[in-house]
Amino acid sequence: MTTYYTKDHEWIRVDGDTGMVGITAYAAGQLGDVVYVELPETGAKFARGDDFAVVESVKAASDVYAPVSGAVLEVNSVLTEAPEKVSEAAESEAWFVRVKLADTGELTELMDEAAYAAFCKGL
């Protein structure tokens, strides 16, 4: 599996033509304590850059953007019951959705881990 990152601090871990999407630890740290997560419905389709979820913290509410175009195969319903997981395990257990990628070519426009780390250092 390969993980890619966006400038909006989403990650996607890709295996073939499916991916698991979430927000980065950097984003979770900026948000603070997450108190609510709104996820899309299974089967929802979105284009790269569309907002598909909302995360609310004690500080602010933020949209979560699709790193690639695709359709939702599964949502992580644990987050609706325990939104604090986003703060605790942003890049592992707190994934938001599993998606079927519409175009794997879109991955070339995302950053790898080293590029994302360099991007964050510049913030």
Give pLDDT tens digits for 29-50. Answer: 999 999 999 999 999 999 999 9
| Distance from C-alpha of 69 to C-alpha of 83, rounded to nearest angstrom | 25
What are the structural domains of the chain? Answer: 2-121 (2.40.50.100)
Amino acid letter, 111: M
All residues at 6 or more sequence positions from 108 whose CB lies less than 8 Å from its CB, including other chains: none
> Quick one: tokens of 67?
């790193």
* H-only helix segments in 34-108: 78-81, 85-88
Phi, psi of 75 (to 5 degrees): -115, 150
Instruction: Read off the pTM.
Output: 0.95
When the pLDDT of each residue in the chain is averaged and rounded to a whole number, the result is 96
